[in-house]
């Protein structure tokens, strides 16, 4: 762990580039190859987009075919002129990432059943733990936060958020 | 028909205490709601509309309230865009590029301040344009047919070259992904399902809020989690909270150009802040990016899209008010609001209800002023958000993202999609594919397709129609120039070196 | 930076639990009637739900406020699927509908669902279709337009706010059918909504605009549009009262852009009767008259068995025309 005062980020741009580079160029080649296959698949699927109607000379195929052309072209270029690999994370970090995705993915599944407050509170707590937050405080903050959001959206703004079938069954709401 | 006289009357309406309160309240509420990551102006208005209907406020005041919310939420949106890299609307996507880069450099305060000032300048200039030129512009905007729109979209498409930073190929990958995502759903012209796999919930295509929040916010969560595993990445101390006079002067021309581009693009029904901000940014980058700082945290990279999108947002009122044609999704919601308030926009609005039109124009100016006055001092406060501990802030953003996406369509399916896009966004960013062109493809694709097909349907299959009018031919020439001139200059430089 | 102070170990968990419990309570308006709008706030269906809901409450016909829920998506398909699969038997909910819903059902756009899957309740107001041209167009009346259309169909281009096969397209197809013009020969160019379609006419990009009375009357009053015919059985009130109906001119084509409701399947007889009575009272009340006039809609009332049959007839007719056009197999 590096100690010392916080340092300003290397400004690699707002969106894409964390400029750490790794070894080899396999990443781009794989990506390029994938894109070419995707483009071919899109073009293939577009065969069935026809309209039995004369007034539309271009038809519903236009956009997918254009997308396929752009993807395919860019994919080919990336395949043959790959850039160096990014720094892929080590396995324990991958585990964390997968866990995060699992939490995020489980959220929509659980939402209708356990309701907004519990689902969001739970998800945020778990994510906080992944970010090395102190357990008790994470849970408190998470549930306060989701409770507050519920109040704000449902009662103040009138946006319906699911209360949870479980609670409806138990409490007879 | 003394426009100035009417405008004064409009100010008289706007300056009534109740209406001032409405303007201020609207701006405040709009900013707060818009600040919630992922809640952009459309959602904010859609959410607050029923509340307004029920409150029984008179039409002019309700309109003033709505306009305040409109502006407020546009600005509030830039707050979460700049601080957290979560654009809530497509027109902020461009702001995120330099805005978030500035935050990472510790200059979030100046970025926020510049955004506020740029919004004010853009909005004010547009209001002058609205007041002085509204009827004439409406007449001009009608002449823009499908062929002309197609040419304009092609021009905007060429602008993507300015968004890719390094690596045109990766930029094209991004655009291709965006175009593909845009094809999902029922074809709007002929209702043929494309890539829907029989799923009813995909018939309307992919909602840009779902895509944007997934691609930006969720991927950011994953990326930050990845960094967590590495060495310390402690929070960046915010060093600057205001824009210096020098920086303002440096950006003056950018502000002007951005506002102009945004205004003219915004007047066209169907094109709005998004196209406006993309085009303005790309144009500005070509004109004034001498030191290659655009994309890495240049204040002008925030000034231009903010001025453009705010200017376009105001200009979009012109087709709405004078023709009754909504210029963008947001104005479509406003149209519904107007109809619900029994104000029928259209050519008769200015004649029959002049107090509505001029009162609205005047209060839009007030709203803009309030925005600036309210938000500049608050930049200090907004920036405190960044000093929340990471273990709360980042999962909090994730939590907010869930609400934002759910609030759009109350669809759990959308939430699942959002997570999927988050993973996609993470992968794209790892291989250094920029995200902004994805949104450009997503937005431009359907527009280009729609207009191309319409133009050909109108001309009965004659492709010549695309360049037949002076307007469309002119735009194609511009497009060609914008592509060829830089390439030509580069070639020229290389030849001189030999 | 610490979010919470270290002490007060037991106060904070307690507070949190209390807040959680308090906020978990659903908002009060959960018993009472519900109107589902298959679109976002601000759209036509949403307006139908809100205006009707308000009137029902004001008239005391509804127990309390009528809750409006927005379930947009798939042009009404998501709400339809929701009603069929998740609200079957629920006697407290109606869903807003219009011919757009029926047309999509006829064309099979809601996956495997059909118009028989729900109970059609009734319609309480309507808009009528119109055919309009520019003020300085060469045709004096509908007959002249149709004559040219018959002899040179490729010369006439129609704009409308719906997609190919949608309401605005259907209007001209029905008219063409009655006038002896080949449906395949009709050149229809879809736009995003009536506003854009009208702009296309005003800009001279098309010759004819197919839309509704409420879309056209503003422009007619401003002198920018000339309506050749209203697709209604009788003349309408308001700005277009001097426009002849297509029937008068010899072409008995109506386009009823009704605003109405359907119920989920499996609603018990008692609730169904109750809804019919409520709708009847609503449609004939002065409050509804006022709301209808404000929305510039025309009077129309059809409910119960008659309405169900009407809808099914519409489905067959739309299906026939769509097949003739090659829109559906």
Write out pLDDT tens, residues B367-420.
Answer: 888 888 888 888 888 888 788 888 888 899 899 888 888 877 778 899 999 999
What confidence tier does C8 reach under pLDDT thresholds 50, 70, 90? very low
Query: What rounded mean pLDDT belongs to chain B?
Result: 81
- Residue A147, SS3? helix
pLDDT score, position B162: 56
- Residue C69, SS3? strand
Which chain C residues contact residue A155 at CB under 8 A? Answer: 27
Helix (H) or strand (E) holding B450: helix B436-458
A vs C: CB pairs below 8 A: 59
Would you say residue B424 has pLDDT above 50? yes
Angle between helices A91-130 and C11-23 (to 10 degrees): 90
As a whole number, mean pLDDT of residues B353-379 equals 79
Would you say residue B308 has pLDDT above 50? yes
Write out pLDDT tens, residues C72-99.
Answer: 888 888 899 989 988 888 888 999 999 9
**Phi/psi-derived region of residue B85, left when phi > 0, alpha when psi is between -120 and 50, beta in every other case:** left
Out of A66-70, B17-21, C108-112, the most confident range is: A66-70
pLDDT score, position A21: 67
- Residue C248, SS3? coil
In the block, tokens 């990336």 appear at: A78
3-state helix, strand, coil in chain B (%, to 5): 80, 0, 20
What confidence tier does A84 reach under pLDDT thresholds 50, 70, 90? confident
Could you tell me the sign of the dihedral formed by the alpha carbons of C28, C33, C37, C43, in that order?
negative
First to last CA, chain B: 65
* Residue B254 CB contacts under 8 Å (≥ 6 apart), including other chains: B284, B288, B300, B303, B304, B307
What confidence tier does C15 reach under pLDDT thresholds 50, 70, 90? low
Helix ranges restricted to H, B316-353: 317-323, 329-340, 349-352
- Residue B370, SS3? helix
Tell me which chains share at least 3 CB pairs under 8 Å with chain C: A, B
More confident residue, B166 or B189: B189
Which ipTM was obtained for this model? 0.84
Q: What are the residues facing C97 on neighbouring strands?
A: C260
Tokens matching residue B165: 């930073």
Please write down the HEC assignment for all residues of A63-115. HHHHHHHHHHHHHHHHHHCCCCCECCCCHHHHHHHHHHHHHHHHHHHHHHHHH
Phi/psi of residue B178, nearest 5 degrees: -60, -45
What are the structural domain ranges in chain A? 26-80, 91-171
Gyration radius of chain A's alpha carbons: 24
Residues 221-250 of B with CB under 8 A from A: 221-226, 228-232, 234-237
Write out pLDDT tens, residues B273-303.
Answer: 788 888 888 888 877 776 777 777 888 889 9
Least confident of A58-67, A84-93, B208-217, B335-344: B335-344
pLDDT score, position C91: 87
Least confident of A139-143, B13-17, B416-420, C250-254: B13-17
Nearest to C81 among B50, B200, B389 (CB): B200
Which chain C residues contact residue A53 at CB under 8 A? Answer: 164, 325-327
Query: What rounded mean pLDDT belongs to chain A?
Result: 79
What confidence tier does C24 reach under pLDDT thresholds 50, 70, 90? low
**Is B201 within 8 Å of C203 when comparing Cβ atoms?**
no
Would you say residue A13 has pLDDT above 50? no
Would you say residue B106 has pLDDT above 60? yes
As a whole number, mean pLDDT of residues C69-74 equals 82
Nearest to A52 among C25, C69, C326 (CB): C326
Would you say residue B115 has pLDDT above 60? yes
What confidence tier does C5 reach under pLDDT thresholds 50, 70, 90? very low
Would you say residue B257 has pLDDT above 70? yes
A vs B: CB pairs below 8 A: 262
Strands C208-212 and C157-160: parallel
As a whole number, mean pLDDT of residues C158-179 equals 89
Helix ranges restricted to H, B105-214: 108-142, 146-159, 168-183, 208-212
Q: What angle do CA C37, C39, C45 make, to 5 degrees?
A: 55
Write out pLDDT tens, residues B430-449.
Answer: 888 888 888 888 888 888 88
Write out pLDDT tens, residues B35-45.
Answer: 887 677 777 77
In chain C, what are the domains?
A: 34-126+256-325 (3.40.190.150), 128-240 (3.40.190.10)
A54 interface with B at CB cutoff 8 Å: no
What confidence tier does A12 reach under pLDDT thresholds 50, 70, 90? very low
* CA B451 vs CA A63, B146, B271, B458, B460: distances in Å: 12, 5, 12, 10, 14
Which chain B residues contact residue C74 at CB under 8 A? Answer: 186, 200-201, 203-204
Write out pLDDT tens, residues B211-248.
Answer: 988 999 899 999 888 887 665 555 566 667 777 788 88
**Is C20 within 8 Å of A117 when comparing Cβ atoms?**
yes
Number of neighbouring beta carbons within 10 Å of residue C282: 20
List the one residue out of B39, B94, B69 whose CA is nearest residue B282. Answer: B94
Q: How far is B431 from chain C (nearest CA, A)?
A: 34
pLDDT score, position C171: 92
C29 interface with A at CB cutoff 8 Å: no
Least confident of A12-21, B391-400, C8-17: A12-21
List the one residue out of B330, B324, B264 whose CA is nearest residue B74. Answer: B330
As a whole number, mean pLDDT of residues B458-468 equals 82
Burial of residue A2, with CB atoms counted within 10 A of its CB: 0-12 exposed, 13-18 middle, 19 or more buried: exposed
**Is C196 within 8 Å of B454 when comparing Cβ atoms?**
no
Would you say residue A4 has pLDDT above 50? no
Q: How far is C326 from chain A (nearest CA, A)?
A: 5
As a whole number, mean pLDDT of residues C41-57 equals 83
More confident residue, C195 or C25: C195
As a whole number, mean pLDDT of residues A150-160 equals 77
Q: What are the residues facing C226 on neighbouring strands?
A: C133
Would you say residue A14 has pLDDT above 60? no
Would you say residue B29 has pLDDT above 70? yes
**Is C16 within 8 Å of A143 when comparing Cβ atoms?**
yes
**Whole-prediction pTM:** 0.81
Number of neighbouring beta carbons within 10 Å of residue B487: 10
**Is C26 within 8 Å of A56 when comparing Cβ atoms?**
no
pLDDT score, position B486: 66
Would you say residue B92 has pLDDT above 70? yes
Residue in A with minimal Cα distance to B437: A15
Q: What CA–CA distance (Å, rounded) separates B273 from B2? A: 30
pLDDT score, position C18: 61
Tell me which chains share at least 3 CB pairs under 8 Å with chain B: A, C
**Is A147 within 8 Å of C19 when comparing Cβ atoms?**
yes
**Is A101 within 8 Å of B422 when comparing Cβ atoms?**
yes
As a whole number, mean pLDDT of residues C207-220 equals 89
pLDDT score, position C164: 83
More confident residue, C193 or C303: C303
pLDDT score, position A90: 82
What confidence tier does A158 reach under pLDDT thresholds 50, 70, 90? low
As a whole number, mean pLDDT of residues C165-172 equals 90
pLDDT score, position C2: 45
Would you say residue A8 has pLDDT above 50? no
Tokens matching residue A157: 């703004």
Residue in B with minimal Cα distance to C204: B143
Tokens matching residue A56: 């539309």
* Residue B343 CB contacts under 8 Å (≥ 6 apart), including other chains: B59, B63, B349, B353, B356
pLDDT score, position C172: 92
Check if the beta carbon of residue B151 is closer than 8 Å to that of residue B475. yes
As a whole number, mean pLDDT of residues B161-175 equals 73
pLDDT score, position A172: 61
Out of A101-110, B123-132, B386-395, the most confident range is: A101-110
Q: What CA–CA distance (Å, rounded) separates C46 from B337? A: 11
Least confident of B459-463, B480-484, C19-23, C230-234: C19-23
How large a percentage of chain C has pLDDT more than 90? Answer: 36
- Residue B154, SS3? helix
As a whole number, mean pLDDT of residues C194-211 equals 87
**Is A124 within 8 Å of B398 when comparing Cβ atoms?**
yes
**Is B398 within 8 Å of A104 when comparing Cβ atoms?**
yes
DSSP state of B200: G
C295 interface with A at CB cutoff 8 Å: no
How large a percentage of chain B has pLDDT more than 70? Answer: 87
pLDDT score, position C13: 63
DSSP state of C263: E
Q: How far is B73 from chain A (nearest CA, A)?
A: 14
Q: What CA–CA distance (Å, rounded) separates C97 from C105? A: 12
**Phi/psi-derived region of residue C296, left when phi > 0, alpha when psi is between -120 and 50, beta in every other case:** left
Check if the beta carbon of residue B220 is closer than 8 Å to that of residue B424. no
As a whole number, mean pLDDT of residues C248-270 equals 91
Least confident of B63-72, C134-143, C263-272: B63-72
pLDDT score, position B383: 82
What confidence tier does C10 reach under pLDDT thresholds 50, 70, 90? low
Number of neighbouring beta carbons within 10 Å of residue C236: 21
């Amino acid at each position: 762990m590096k100690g010392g005062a916080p340092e300003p980020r290397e400004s690699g741009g707002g969106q894409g580039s964390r400029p750490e580079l790794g070894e080899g160029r396999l990443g781009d080649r794989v990506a390029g190859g994938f894109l070419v296959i995707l483009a071919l698949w899109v073009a293939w699927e577009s065969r069935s987009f026809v309209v039995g109607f004369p007034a539309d000379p271009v038809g519903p195929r236009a956009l997918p075919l254009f997308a396929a052309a752009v993807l395919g072209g860019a994919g080919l270029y990336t395949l043959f002129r790959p850039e160096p690999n990014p720094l892929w994370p080590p396995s324990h970090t991958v585990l964390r990432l997968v866990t995060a995705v699992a939490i995020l993915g489980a959220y929509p599944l659980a939402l209708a059943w356990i309701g907004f407050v519990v689902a969001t509170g739970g998800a945020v707590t778990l994510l906080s733990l992944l970010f090395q937050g102190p357990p008790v405080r994470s849970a408190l903050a998470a549930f306060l936060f989701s409770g507050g959001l519920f109040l704000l959206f449902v009662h103040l703004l009138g946006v319906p958020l699911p209360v949870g079938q479980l609670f409806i069954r138990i409490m007879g709401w | 028909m003394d426009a100035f006289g009417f405008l004064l009357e409009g100010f008289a309406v706007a300056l009534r205490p109740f209406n001032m309160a409405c303007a201020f309240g609207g701006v405040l509420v709009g900013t707060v709601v818009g600040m919630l990551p992922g809640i952009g102006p459309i959602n904010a208005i859609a959410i607050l509309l029923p509340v307004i209907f029920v409150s029984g406020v008179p039409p002019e005041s309700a309109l003033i309230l709505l306009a305040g919310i409109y502006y407020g939420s546009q600005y509030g949106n830039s707050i979460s865009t700049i601080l957290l890299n979560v654009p809530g609307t497509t027109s902020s996507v461009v702001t995120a590029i330099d805005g978030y880069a500035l935050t990472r450099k510790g200059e979030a305060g100046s970025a926020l301040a510049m955004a506020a000032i740029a919004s004010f300048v853009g909005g004010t200039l547009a209001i002058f344009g609205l007041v002085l030129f509204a009827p004439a512009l409406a007449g001009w905007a009608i002449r823009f047919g499908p062929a002309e729109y197609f040419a304009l979209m092609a021009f905007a498409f060429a602008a993507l070259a300015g968004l890719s930073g390094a690596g045109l190929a990766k930029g094209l990958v991004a655009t291709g992904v965006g175009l593909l995502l845009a094809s999902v759903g029922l074809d709007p012209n002929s209702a043929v399902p494309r890539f829907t796999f029989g799923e009813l919930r995909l018939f309307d295509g992919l909602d840009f809020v779902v895509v944007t929040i997934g691609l930006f916010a969720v991927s950011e969560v994953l990326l930050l989690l990845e960094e967590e595993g590495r060495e310390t990445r402690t929070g960046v101390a915010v060093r600057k909270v205001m824009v210096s006079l020098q920086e303002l002067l440096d950006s003056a021309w950018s502000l002007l150009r951005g506002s102009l581009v945004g205004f003219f693009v915004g007047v066209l029904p169907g094109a709005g802040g998004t196209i406006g901000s993309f085009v303005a940014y790309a144009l500005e980058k070509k004109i004034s990016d001498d030191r290659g700082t655009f994309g890495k945290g240049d204040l002008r990279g925030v000034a231009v899209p903010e001025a453009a999108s705010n200017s376009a947002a105001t200009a979009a009122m012109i087709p709405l008010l004078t023709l009754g044609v909504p210029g963008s999704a947001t104005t479509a919601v406003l149209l519904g609001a107007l109809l619900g308030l029994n104000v029928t926009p259209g050519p008769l609005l200015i004649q029959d209800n002049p107090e509505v039109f001029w009162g609205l124009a005047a209060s839009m100016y007030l709203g803009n002023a309030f925005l600036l006055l309210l938000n500049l001092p608050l930049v200090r406060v907004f920036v405190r958000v960044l000093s929340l501990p990471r273990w709360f802030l980042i999962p909090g953003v994730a939590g907010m993202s869930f609400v934002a996406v759910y609030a759009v369509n109350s669809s759990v399916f959308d939430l699942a999609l959002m997570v999927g896009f988050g993973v996609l966004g993470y992968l794209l960013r790892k291989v250094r594919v920029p995200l902004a062109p994805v949104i450009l493809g997503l937005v431009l694709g359907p527009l280009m397709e729609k207009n191309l097909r319409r133009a050909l349907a109108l001309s009965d299959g004659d492709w010549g129609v695309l360049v037949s009018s002076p307007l469309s031919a002119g735009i194609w020439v511009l497009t060609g120039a914008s592509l060829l001139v830089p390439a030509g200059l580069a070639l020229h430089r290389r030849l001189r070196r030999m | 930076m610490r979010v919470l102070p270290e002490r007060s170990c037991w106060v904070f968990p307690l507070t949190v639990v209390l807040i959680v419990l308090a906020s978990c309570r659903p908002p009060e308006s959960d018993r009472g009637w519900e109107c589902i709008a298959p679109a976002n706030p601000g759209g036509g269906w949403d307006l139908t739900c809100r205006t009707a809901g308000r009137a029902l409450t004001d008239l005391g016909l509804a127990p309390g406020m009528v809750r409006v829920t927005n379930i947009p998506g798939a042009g009404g398909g998501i709400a339809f699927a929701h009603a069929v699969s998740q609200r079957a038997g629920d006697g407290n909910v109606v869903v807003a509908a219009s011919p757009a819903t029926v047309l999509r059902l006829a064309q099979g756009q809601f996956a495997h669902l059909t118009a028989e899957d729900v109970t059609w309740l009734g319609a309480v107001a309507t808009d009528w279709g119109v055919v309009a041209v520019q003020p300085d167009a060469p045709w004096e009346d509908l007959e002249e337009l149709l004559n040219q259309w018959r002899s040179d169909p490729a010369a006439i281009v129609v704009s409308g706010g719906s997609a190919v096969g949608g309401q605005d397209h259907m209007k001209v197809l029905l008219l063409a059918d009655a006038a002896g013009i080949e449906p395949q020969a009709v050149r229809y160019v879809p736009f995003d909504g009536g506003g854009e379609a009208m702009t296309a006419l005003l800009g001279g990009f098309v010759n004819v605009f197919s839309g509704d009375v409420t879309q056209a009357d503003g422009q007619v009053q401003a002198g920018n549009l000339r309506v050749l015919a209203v697709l209604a059985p009788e003349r309408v009130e308001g700005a277009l009262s001097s426009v002849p109906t297509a029937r008068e001119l010899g072409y008995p084509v109506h386009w009823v852009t009704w605003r109405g409701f359907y119920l989920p399947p499996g609603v018990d007889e008692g609730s169904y009767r109750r809804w019919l009575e409520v709708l009847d009272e609503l449609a004939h009340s002065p409050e509804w008259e006022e709301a209808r006039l404000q929305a510039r809609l025309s009077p129309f009332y059809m409910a119960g068995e008659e309405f169900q049959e009407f809808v099914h007839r519409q489905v067959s007719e739309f299906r026939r025309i769509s097949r003739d056009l090659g829109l559906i197999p």
